[in-house]
Structure 1
Amino acid sequence: MSPPPHGRTRRVDLVRLREKLPTNVADVLGRYERHLTLERDLSPHTVRAYIGDAVALLGHVAGDEPENADVGRIDLAGLRSWLAAQHAAGASRTTLARRAAAARTFTAWAHRAGHLAADPGPRLAAPRPHRMLPPVLREEQAKEAMDAVSSGASEGHPVALRDQAVVELLYATGIRVAELCGLDLDDVDYSLRVIRVLGKGGRERTTPFGVPAGRALRRWLDEGRNALVAPDSPPALFLGARGGRLNQRAVRQLVHEVVAVVPDAPDIGPHGLRHSAATHLLEGGADLRTVQELLGHATLATTQLYTHVTVERLKAIHDRTHPRS
């Protein structure tokens, strides 16, 4: 039998470690989890990551005696030692930066809640993550992907109609896969060609879509969705084969399969379509503020990553086509 993936091994270890923590620390973690879920409205995946990092930090500070762990013992030296141990174990700069941010979130909350006399988090320095240029489709590759999924829907099978609408909407709007799966029927305004999206942190925004996505959506609703509706189906815009809300894993698999038929295209998922949409908007002349609003980025700095993508692509085109490049 092959060994379990590293990520799965870490999750199992953290579950076992959490079980060994004293009752009072477990209660603190429970309150922190409710804070992340109810007050900050973070996704279940993000909450699990934050709680896992808090458990790992508490276990490290407690050393060989997790049953004696104490939130009040967390200090700057403990935070630095925790990150140093992960660095020695081979954690990447990006992982270290993320876990440092999670630790600062935990200590800030613990201090406000009265579990820590002082918050050491603001004094914790961590390496900045490398800003990797995301792989994106060229415009002609995106068109080929849309043509491929349209061809699959030509015979009118309900799942194929849904898949076309999903891919068209992802590329047309640049929304996240979780945002797409969370859409309900009344989130779409066909007269204005916009959707109402509930993004990260519960932030709501309105995002427009074009004529091709509108046509694909209308055909899915008129000809496909009713074939998948079950008695207990939710009012979701997109349904799975058994009538439940379409899940993110199915969407990721769909996008990978669609892009795989495009010659020389990078292997991307829904987030790659999001990157591609942002890049093509900027290349078409959209300003950063507009793209920030469309994508639902909290800060302009996140959107600015895409300017590096377009600069790299412009340089590549220049090198390939200019007579004196």
Structure 2
Amino acid sequence: MNSDVILNQFLLEYQFRIGKDTLTHYLINVRQLLHFTGKSIDSVTKSDILGWLGYLKKKKYKPWTVWGKLTSLKTFFKYCLEEGYIHKNPAETIPFPRIEEKLPYYLSLDQLGKVRELLQGRLEERAILEVLYATGVRISELCAMKKEDINWSERIIHIPKGKYKKGRIVLFTRNCEEHLKRYLDSRRDNQPYVFLSVVLKNRPIDKNTVGSRFRKYSKCLEFKFTPHTIRYTFTAHLAQKGMPLECIQTLLGHEEPQQTRYYARLYNHSRTELYDEYM
């Protein structure tokens, strides 16, 4: 079967399984491999893939980039094998590159306290911080959040479409509830989004606006952090309070093995730090 036809079939099959951007990258990576080898999908061998990965290494591609490209190939050729387009998965036994992983940076309770102090009186900005810290949601999920997603009596928020197009439930604290209610009560509009664009009041706030604000906070406080740092902080602080890793991963909406491993290292590091405080 023609390679373009197979790629289109893969697109149709996976468009409801993974995010649009991720799927786009998968297709780009497969096309790059095919262009490099000059072969059709059913002719690609393990040696071809190893040759392409070696080429990427010589071109100084970062290990995480190569990891991502190999993940794309493994997923795609597994699909091809299942559908009978190929008789053997050429990517199946290829090992992922070794990566020296640095632990993600997260805020201490003292640093978090300084951020809260900085945002005192800024209702919307403080509410954003508290929602990020209490729920561990991704910035894209925060921006898309609607009022109807919030269950105040149960203190839960429904995330209808996460990164991998699967909904989940996240929890929020009484402290978060207090600041979020105070902000929403100050609003004089009927817009459905929890946080609104500063330019178009009928649209949700965008990631660039939130990111820009966090850069300003970093400059004022003289320690760097981003919205995603708060997600790491959420993970580390829950680990230090004794929540099982499996529960944290459910709240984070994680499924991919590399994400699981990455956050597991953060979890273990956080628990060790807690242990050291008592010894």
Q: Give your verdict on TM over 0.5.
A: yes
Q: Give the equivalent residue in structure 1 for 2:137.
A: 175
Displacement of 1:79 after TM fit?
A: 0.8
Q: Give the equivalent residue in structure 1 for 2:34.
A: 58
Report whether the alignment pairs 1:310 with 2:270.
yes
Report whether the alignment pairs 1:205 with 2:181.
no
Match of 1:126 among 73, 96, 102: 96
Alpha carbons of 1:107 and 1:209: their partners in 2 closer, same or farther (altered >3 Å)? same
Alpha carbons of 1:254 and 1:30: their partners in 2 closer, same or farther (altered >3 Å)? farther
Displacement of 1:248 after TM fit?
A: 2.2
The CA distance in 2 between the partners of 1:46 and 1:131, in whole Å, is 22
Secondary structure at the aligned position of 2:158 is classed as strand
The CA distance in 2 between the partners of 1:173 and 1:48, in whole Å, is 28
Displacement of 1:311 after TM fit?
A: 5.4
Secondary structure at the aligned position of 1:195 is classed as strand
Displacement of 1:307 after TM fit?
A: 2.7
Match of 2:204 among 245, 252, 270: 245
Match of 1:92 among 62, 87, 90: 62
Is the contact made by 1:279 and 1:310 (CA closer than 8 Å) also made in structure 2? yes
The CA distance in 2 between the partners of 1:225 and 1:305, in whole Å, is 44
The CA distance in 1 between the partners of 2:158 and 2:261, in whole Å, is 24
Q: Give the equivalent residue in structure 2 for 1:10.
A: none
Alpha carbons of 1:100 and 1:225: their partners in 2 closer, same or farther (altered >3 Å)? farther
- Tell me whether 216-225 or 302-311 shows the greater mean CA deviation: 302-311
The CA distance in 1 between the partners of 2:158 and 2:188, in whole Å, is 20
Which one scores higher on RCO, CA 8 angstroms, separation ≥ 6?
A: 2
Question: Which amino acid in structure 2 is aligned with residue 224 of structure 1?
Answer: R
Is the contact made by 1:253 and 1:269 (CA closer than 8 Å) also made in structure 2? no
Displacement of 1:225 after TM fit?
A: 6.0
Secondary structure at the aligned position of 1:207 is classed as strand
Report whether the alignment pairs 1:219 with 2:219.
no
The CA distance in 2 between the partners of 1:284 and 1:125, in whole Å, is 36
The CA distance in 2 between the partners of 1:91 and 1:312, in whole Å, is 33
Report whether the alignment pairs 1:32 with 2:10.
yes
Report whether the alignment pairs 1:164 with 2:140.
no
Displacement of 1:317 after TM fit?
A: 6.4
Is the contact made by 2:134 and 2:173 (CA closer than 8 Å) also made in structure 1? yes
Displacement of 1:94 after TM fit?
A: 1.9
Is the contact made by 2:3 and 2:40 (CA closer than 8 Å) also made in structure 1? yes
Alpha carbons of 1:124 and 1:205: their partners in 2 closer, same or farther (altered >3 Å)? same
Is the contact made by 2:239 and 2:271 (CA closer than 8 Å) also made in structure 1? no
Q: Deviations over 1:239-278 (max 9, x none)?
A: 2120212222222223332343224x2x222211010111
Secondary structure at the aligned position of 1:99 is classed as helix
Match of 1:282 among 239, 243, 249: 239
Alpha carbons of 1:126 and 1:282: their partners in 2 closer, same or farther (altered >3 Å)? closer
The CA distance in 2 between the partners of 1:294 and 1:259, in whole Å, is 27
Is the contact made by 1:133 and 1:308 (CA closer than 8 Å) also made in structure 2? no
Report whether the alignment pairs 1:258 with 2:217.
yes
Report whether the alignment pairs 1:191 with 2:169.
no
Alpha carbons of 1:26 and 1:236: their partners in 2 closer, same or farther (altered >3 Å)? farther
Displacement of 1:314 after TM fit?
A: 5.3
The CA distance in 1 between the partners of 2:245 and 2:6, in whole Å, is 41
The CA distance in 2 between the partners of 1:303 and 1:110, in whole Å, is 31
The CA distance in 2 between the partners of 1:225 and 1:58, in whole Å, is 55
Question: Radius of gyration: which is bigger?
Answer: 1
Displacement of 1:86 after TM fit?
A: 0.4
Q: Give the equivalent residue in structure 1 for 2:253.
A: 296
Q: Please tell me the root mean square deviation across aligned C-alpha atoms, in Å.
A: 2.5
Alpha carbons of 1:214 and 1:305: their partners in 2 closer, same or farther (altered >3 Å)? same
Is the contact made by 1:291 and 1:303 (CA closer than 8 Å) also made in structure 2? no
Secondary structure at the aligned position of 1:221 is classed as helix
Question: Which amino acid in structure 2 is aligned with residue 28 of structure 1?
Answer: I
What TM-score, normalized by structure 1, do the two folds share?
A: 0.75
Q: Give the equivalent residue in structure 2 for 1:137.
A: 107
Displacement of 1:293 after TM fit?
A: 2.7
The unaligned stretches of length 5 or more in structure 2 are none
Is the contact made by 2:240 and 2:271 (CA closer than 8 Å) also made in structure 1? no
- Tell me whether 242-251 or 274-283 shows the greater mean CA deviation: 242-251
Q: Deviations over 1:42-62 (max 9, x none)?
A: 222212221221111111111
Alpha carbons of 1:32 and 1:216: their partners in 2 closer, same or farther (altered >3 Å)? same
